[in-house]
Chains A and B, each alone.
Chain A
Amino acid sequence: MNTVLKTKGLCKTYIVNKRQNNVLKNIDLTINEGEMVAVMGPSGSGKSTLLYCVSGMDKVTAGEVIFNGKETAKLSDKELARLRLDEMGFIFQQMYMMKNLSVLDNIILPAVKSKKNHESRKQTEERGRALMHRLGIDSVGGNDINEVSGGQLQRACICRSMINNPKMIFADEPTGALNRSSSDEVMNELLSLNRDGTTVMCVTHDPKVAAKCSRVLYIVDGGIVGEKEMNHFDGGEKELRDRERELNNWLMEQGW
């Protein structure tokens, strides 16, 4: 299986009030194509920082991050932006969207901006609508972002992250602001994407969300202290409950 993301000795340090705060310490990590990896850990352990560092959204203090064969530290800001635009997708806990654009325009914005995309605007819009249809939000395309529910907005964010067919989607607590049913819907979409071949790295506090992933990393104080491999989840309720139980036991062993 091809490696999509690899880190070697990844470190991230912040200086706060003249004191050095080592948020990530020597992280070595490999994520292969088609994996769905959950990152868990207590608050302040460095989960989100890891996500931002590996996705090129934040600069690393030391170490290497190789995404799809490219070392991100060696890329210019422009090249990094291009990489994020064409090969990565992002989903945040808060459903950030451009307030002056409609839901559909928010979704197609990265595709319109991408130089890799040679479609006409109309074709892109149609593709955006198809994605929305797939995620069940095709009726709200023309709406302003304040006119849709949180669950619909998060699904729109997933559509935006998918619009350029990225190699990998990074999700930072994508269900953190949603109720259980919306959360399940969003996770099912991510699962479905993963089944179609998109690699997913997802930061979460929720064992039920992590139980749907094929691998779980456990971070404490900026270091990966545990890793649990699981089979690909095929979607059954019973299987999910079993996986969740298994994961909870493992997490308790890790000190969760």
Chain B
Amino acid sequence: MSKEKKKKDPVVMTLDLVIVILIFVMLGVGIRLLFYKSIAKERSNFSQDAGRMAFDVERNDYASLIRARYMNEFNGYEATEYHALADYVEAISMYKVYNTMGYADKSEWEKDIMERSRKDMKELTVFADRIDEMFLRRPVR
């Protein structure tokens, strides 16, 4: 009698096996779904977080940094220090143009932005110093 009790229904055993296989299938499909959803989220706008902006700075890709700064502004993303650094790069690049061309008002305006940005960028000032070297070392006409 007790032996009969222990004997399991082969149909139930097969169904249990199917459930176990389905669990793995669902896990695989779920991971794929999460992956594609995260990609879709990433590509829904051109904003960048501080980590991605740090990557731009590390590679000297200041054009991308400035672009990301504007995109973040339009999308309400905050990365204060990196935005300040982007503002600084844009201001110094324009300062060089205005100063060389003799546009006093415009160059003063850019200089003000540079000073304000330096205060906001905190520990990133080390990059601002490097940028100064890049833009101001070359002899002005």
- Are A and B part of the same complex? no
